[in-house]
Structure 1
Amino acid sequence: MFRKLLFVFVSIGLTLSGYAQTPNLQTVTTQGNTTTNNISVRNVDGLVFTSDPVNQTLKSHWLKGSPVDPGVVRFECTSSVVTAGWEFYNSQLGKSLLYIRQATGNVGIGTADPKVRLAVNGEMLAKKVRITPNNWADFVFDSSYHLPSLQQLEHFITRHKHLPEMPSAKEVSDNALELGQNQAKLLQKIEEMTLYLIAQEKALEEREERISERQQLLSDREKRLSALEAKAGNE
């Protein structure tokens, strides 16, 4: 019933203001006809769609102008049933395309049971995605941060088969991946890796300095030996 009325609403170019014109909405919808005339609804409650004519307050949907913003059309549901809401259905394909659950406000695209604010059963394409994680990873560069040794890191990887504080493959498979938190953890590991590289670079520089000093000592020793040998030969 709701889909039929919605189709009629689109076909007749409904206007939610002004005055009623001929033919009236009841005649059009009852006979299953369409009209090229505009039909205006003056009632502030707008249009009511119900799938339960006996108990209309149980599953009633209202289409009316928003009392808060005159430029907005409000889809209102009076039902307290958790599964109540709105469905966008393609009769040609014989499937539901989008659901909005009124109790939670959750939106499901390709799924009739969205468990979160937006659930998409399929791919998403965007030019930009903005995420607000709770904790960014710059604390790694704080002097109080404890950076595990590479030996400790190797022991953890050998035992657990993944990096510390990162989810395992099974955890991701069972619980999915929280994108913002994962980005923060990946940055933490990159920053830790940067500290390891800096430490190794310093160690290499110190080793090169010691090698250079030893080479200089050997060179000076050879020069002294050569001078002694030359002096002994002259005598």
Structure 2
Amino acid sequence: MDSVLLVEDDRMLGDALAAALAQDGWRADRSEDVAAARLALVDHAYVAVLLDLGLPRGSGLDVLAAMRARYDTTPVLIITARDQLSDRIRGLDSGADDYIVKPFQRDELLARLRAVVRRSRGRVAPQLRWRDVVLDPAERSVTRGGTPVPLGVHEYRTLLALMECQGRVLDRERLEDRIYGGDGAIGSNTVAVYIHQLRRKLGGDIVVTVHGYGYRLGDPE
């Protein structure tokens, strides 16, 4: 499960955003002021930052400036109540990747987040493809040969992790972290169960076991 940093001092809004992120498959760490955000960004690696501008003891732009000053290219999506054009220009010129003004629809925020992460990974198309398997993160759908394949949430996250790695091997620990976000007790054979389910639903050739190392997608045709 990919981790994002949510920098928002409004706890009620922060709770709602964290819940929406979790439902969309993200793990969210939270900071409520500039100092905490800067510390979190030094100590952890995130795939994106959701950054409010109006923070206690400083501005979100201070966080952004500190990131870019040390050549931290983590995508930043600014979320703010400031809707003046000059504020948006200043944020983008300071190194933000996108900007959304409060109040906003949850689905738009999640779509913008997926887009900035996708661009940071050099992937413009929203869909992931491997052979005739197509995974659409926006729709949370999977097809093979054009036929829809219903997957449970953990099966979906397992496949998403493998497809994002484009054929590289993922060991069990990394897969567990992507599926569960490192939370809770996990059985030793849990990943194997999801791999078995994916093979049953998508075909035995879709996931290869690399003995002693982990799993990867089958060879491209």
**Normalised TM-score (structure 1):** 0.22
Write 1 or 2 for the structure with the bigger share of strand. 2
Pick the structure with greater CA Rg. Answer: 1
Q: TM-score, normalised by structure 2?
A: 0.23
